[in-house]
Amino acid sequence: MAHAPELPQCSAREERETTHRVRARQHGTHRLRIPLGALSGHRHLVIGKNHGIGQQIRVPDNPYDQLAGVYFLQSTGEEIMSQAPLSEPSHPERVRLVAIDNLRSFLTVLVVAHHAVLAYVSYAPLPFAGWGEEPMAWRAFPVVDTVRAPALDLLVGFNDAFFMSLFFLVAGLFTWRGLVAKGAIGYLKRRVLRLGVPFALSAAVLAQVAYYPAYLQHGGQPGLWSYLGAWLSLDAWPAGPAWFLWVLLALSGLAALVYRVAPGWGSRLGERLRWAGDRPGALFGLLLAISAAIYMPVTMLVAPQSWFELGPFSVQTSRALHYALYFVFGVGLGGWALEGDGGTGRAGLFSSEGKLARGWPLWTGLAVISFVALVACAMAFFGSLKSGTPNETLRRAANFGFTLSCAASSFMCLSVFLRFGDRTGSLWRSFGRNAFGIYVVHYVFASWTQFALLDRPLSAGTKATLVFLAALLLSWGATIALRKIPGVAVVVGGRGLHSAEPK
């Protein structure tokens, strides 16, 4: 049997913190003492004879074995089930669930679809003011067509109620692993490269390219210098969908700062949520209660659709704390849920056989009912506005409906993808590798395709479909091409939006 590397010495406190009970089929119950970080860089570990088992164990190369907590005695092949993670895995960035990756890719598709159809929703405002005159609605609707498809209002409303919040939750899932793998400084440096650089590129270049059709539709004089002059005369600096990148970077920075001060905060938060695997309904109720307690008071102070803007930095004011909550929830869940069942013999929260995944029909029904209720309350409130006497009860109901629809739709997507979304075909892998780049560049292709179709005698539905396909496929192809450039691949390659350690 090959010799294993000698374990580093550890203090009594470290031993206590990393002591875990194990159950071997023929050895009874024993205790392991493995120093914190002992797995890092080691393929084999020795369990001291004074702790009951004198054999050598192999850390499986398959990350899903690590997630399940399954280890094998090399000398006998007997199985040992650990009841808690032995330590942080040696390569946390590799430990990810295929279903979560595919969910992230699906959310990216929703983002592309969302921006592709905005030109054709019933409430998209036609240009009525100058380029630089308020309300500058072109920041949200770069191109507006005269043909409309009111059915698209439902798609946009459904997306808007949850998809960015779920993006933040998914991003948080791998944050704790990234912090443990690289430390606060190393993690933050990586996030600046993977989020800060694309944000700067988007704000400095891509946004201007994407908004040029809006400038032309507002009667701007064609030409690069005329456009740059008009752009620099604006009181704002729109960055388009890149707002998400800087907000995520800011939240990552806060997480790193807290980790620097309190290195165990993510694990402690995860421990407090460990019951969620058996009680996803209670987890949903907790998320809903906190998000409502945060969101509803804010909407009493600012309009739900208002935005904070400072140069290229913008965020929807009423949702800033709401997004932060979803991110923190993701960090907490990522601190334990990605470890599987922890040796309890029960399916974990993110297992395809877990209660969350198996409850997908209930979550789907709740998501549909919640969104219908949100639409009904919002329509009733807008109706009261037309009568000149806003109904405050309806406004509060609509604001609560947003938090309910957001949580329900998020749990629906999680449950459906955990149950069925574990595909690993070449198409899924390609899209997953390029999803971050697609998010960064798709806005350019969406706005220019909308502009190109303005005068075409096509229905709104046909135009929306063409814009969606063009934006998706062109941004996908552009990202594949860009990733062949070594310097660019470091920034937009792999899974930079959400992974603990992007490739």
Cβ proximity of 342 and 349 under 8 Å: no
For residues 423 and 284, state if they share a domain: yes
- 137 shares its domain with 161: yes
Same domain, residue pair 46 and 181: no
Q: 3-class SS at 420? A: helix
Domain, as residue range, for 63: 12-82
Inside any domain, residue 174: yes
The token pair that represents 255 in the structure block: 């997480």
Tell me: do 187 and 268 sit in the same domain.
Answer: yes
* Whether residue 193 has pLDDT greater than 60: yes
If you average pLDDT over residues 190-198, what whole number do you get? 96
- Distance separating alpha carbons of residues 76 and 72, to the nearest angstrom: 8
User: Does a structural domain hold residue 498?
Assistant: no
Query: Are residues 172 and 311 located together in one domain of the fold?
Result: yes
Residue 5 lies in a domain: no
Per-residue pLDDT at 493: 67
Is the same domain home to 209 and 278? yes
23 and 96 belong to one structural domain: no
Choosing from 32, 58, 82, the residue where a domain stops is 82
What average pLDDT does this structure show over 175-189? 93
Tell whether the model's pLDDT for residue 25 goes beyond 60.
no
Give a yes or no: residue 257 inside a domain.
Answer: yes
Helix (H, G, I), strand (E, B) or coil at 31: strand
Q: What is the pLDDT of residues 202-237, one digit of tens each?
A: 999 999 999 999 999 999 999 999 999 999 999 999
Residue 94 burial by Cβ neighbours in a 10 Å radius (0-12, 13-18, 19+): middle
How many angstroms separate the CA atoms of 309 and 56, rounded?
58
> Is residue 316 located within the same domain as residue 432?
yes
Average pLDDT over residues 15-24: 35
Same domain flag for 441 and 294:
yes
> Tokens 């031993």 sit at which residue?
15
Inform me whether the pLDDT recorded for 242 exceeds 70. yes
Query: Three-state DSSP class for 44?
Result: strand
Clarify whether residues 246 and 307 are in a common domain.
yes
Q: What distances in angstroms separate CA 252 from CA 168, 175, 185, 248, 491, one per listed residue? A: 11, 8, 11, 6, 17
Please identify, among 82, 110, 144, the residue that sits at the C-terminal boundary of a domain. 82
Burial pattern 174-190, b for ≥16 Cβ within 10 A else e, equals: bbbbbbbbbebeebbeb
Query: Is the pLDDT reported for residue 59 higher than 90?
Result: no
Instruction: Count CA within 13 A, CB hemisphere, residue 427.
Output: 3
Domain count for the chain: 2
Q: Is 59 exposed, middle or buried (0-12, 13-18, 19+ CB in 10 A)?
A: middle
**Are residues 126 and 144 in contact, defined by beta-carbon separation less than 8 angstroms?**
yes
- Which residues does 447 contact at the CB level (< 8 Å), separation at least 6? 115, 142, 143, 210, 211, 213, 214
Segment of 2-6, 129-133, 391-395, 491-495 carrying the highest mean pLDDT: 391-395
Let me know if residue 62 belongs to a domain. yes
Per-residue confidence (pLDDT) for residue 338, from 0 to 100: 62
Q: What is the pTM of this model?
A: 0.80
User: Which amino acid is present at 302?
Assistant: V
Mean pLDDT of 400-407: 98
The DSSP call for residue 195 is: I
Asked if residue 4 belongs to a domain, the reply is: no
For residues 345-364, average pLDDT: 86
Dump pLDDT digits (tens) for 253-286: 999 999 999 998 988 898 888 899 899 999 999 9
Are 106 and 243 within one domain? yes
Same domain, 30 and 100: no
- CA nearest 436: which of 95, 108, 94? 108
Residue 501 lies inside a defined structural domain of this protein: no
